[in-house]
Amino acid sequence: EAQVTQNPRYLITVTGKKLTVTCSQNMNHEYMSWYRQDPGLGLRQIYYSMNVEVTDKGDVPEGYKVSRKEKRNFPLILESPSPNQTSLYFCASSDRGITEAFFGQGTRLTVV
Amino acid sequence: AQKVTQAQTEISVVEKEDVTLDCVYETRDTTYYLFWYKQPPSGELVFLIRRNSFDEQNEISGRYSWNFQKSTSSFNFTITASQVVDSAVYFCALSETSNTGKLIFGQGTTLQVKP
C-alpha cells in the first residue's frame, strides 16, 4: 500500500529537549516536504527536498532542520524546541512538484 | 505573491442540503495547479482533486463538483445532498510552478453537517 508514515503521532516534550520526527515514504517519490498546521493559518511549508541531499527552506524554517540521506526518509529535527513550535506537523511526498501530494497521518507536538 | 483565500471559516448545514466552499487564489504564473484536500476529524489529509490552469472544465465526482473560473481566480467546491460523513475541514491549495513541491494552502473551511 502506498503510504507516508510519520512517527510519533503524538509527542509532548519540554522546552530545549532535542527531538526528531521521522517520515518515510514507499512510493519512490523524489519530492518531500514538511508542513505545520496552525488554526486559522492552514498549512505552511517548513522545508522541502527535491531529491537525496537536496533540501531547502520553505516559508517557516526557523527552529527546524531536515536531512535527506535516503530517498525514502525525510526526518524533521527540532534542536531546541520552544512552545511556539507546538503544532500539528505533516510530512508529504509527491512524484513531481506539481502532482498530487500524499500526506502522512500527522504528528501532534506539544512543547511545554 | 501567491496566495489562497478561503473566506468561509465555518459552515453549518443540515443533511441533504447543498453546500459550496469558496476558494480564491492569486498567482502571477500562467501555469499552475489547484487542489482540494479533505481533513476529517481523524486528522489525515485526503486528496480530492487536482486541476491545471489550462483546463477550465468543471468536474463532477459523485456528489462532489468543482467549478474552476480563471476570470475570477476561483476554484469552488460544491457538495450536493450533504451527509454527516462530509463533516471535515476542507483545504484549497495552489502549487507553485517553481517545482519545489510546495503547496500554498488556504486557511481551511470547517464544514459541519448536522443530521
Burial status of residue B25 (CB atoms within 10 A of its CB: 0-12, 13-18, 19 or more): buried
Beta bridge partners of B65: B60, B78
Percentage of chain A beyond pLDDT 70 is: 99
The grid coordinates listed for A65 are 532542520
How sure is the predictor about B105, in pLDDT bands with cuts at 50, 70 and 90?
A: very high
Distance, in angstroms, between A33 CA and closest chain B CA?
Answer: 7
Chain B residues in contact with chain A using a Cβ-Cβ cutoff of 8 Å: 4, 6, 9, 33, 35, 37, 43-45, 47, 50, 91, 93, 95-103, 105-108
A 73-112: CB under 8 A from B: 88, 90, 92, 94, 96-103, 105-106, 108
Q: What is the mean pLDDT of residues A81-86?
A: 97
Note whether B7 and B23 are within 8 A (CB). Answer: no
Question: With DSSP H G I counted as helix, E B as strand and the rest as coil, what are the percentages for chain B, rounded to 5?
Answer: 5, 50, 45
pLDDT of res. B57? 84
Strands B109-114 and B10-14: parallel
Q: Which residues contact A16 (CB under 8 A, 6 or more apart)?
A: A80, A81, A82
pLDDT at A98 > cutoff 80: no
Alpha-carbon gap: A98 to the closest alpha carbon of chain B (Å):
6
**Which of A1, A23, A33, A43 is the best mutation test for B, with the most CBs of B within 10 A?**
A43
What mean pLDDT is predicted for residues A72-80? Answer: 98
Question: What is the average pLDDT value for chain B, to the nearest integer?
Answer: 93
pLDDT of residue A97: 67
Residue scoring higher pLDDT (A38 or B29): A38
Mean pLDDT of A34-40: 94
Using CA atoms, how far apart are residues A50 and A101, in angstroms rounded to an integer? 13
Distances (CA, A) of A53 to A5, A49, A94, B9: 20, 8, 17, 39
Q: Which residues of B touch A108 (CB under 8 A)?
A: 43
Whether B25 and B3 have beta carbons less than 8 Å apart is answered as yes
The model's confidence at residue A27, banded by pLDDT at 50, 70 and 90, is very high
Are the C-beta atoms of A67 and A23 separated by less than 8 Å? no
Q: Is there a contact between B102 and A106 if contact means CB atoms under 8 Å apart?
A: no
**How confident is the prediction for chain A on average, in pLDDT?**
94
Q: Which residues from chain A sit within 8 angstroms of residue B45, using beta carbons?
A: 90, 103, 106
B96 pLDDT above the threshold of 90: no
| Cβ-Cβ contacts under 8 Å, A105 against chain B | 43-44
Q: For residue B9, which residues of chain A lie inside 8 Å, CB to CB?
A: 40
Residue in B38, B49, B51 with CA at minimum distance from that of residue B83: B38
Distance CA B12, CA A33 (A): 32
Q: What is the DSSP letter of A7?
A: E
Q: Which whole number is the average pLDDT over A41-50?
A: 93
B81, B18 contact by CB (below 8 A) = yes
Mean pLDDT of B20-42: 94
Residue B113, all three cell numbers: 453537517
Residue B49, burial from CB neighbour count under 10 angstroms (0-12, 13-18, 19+): middle
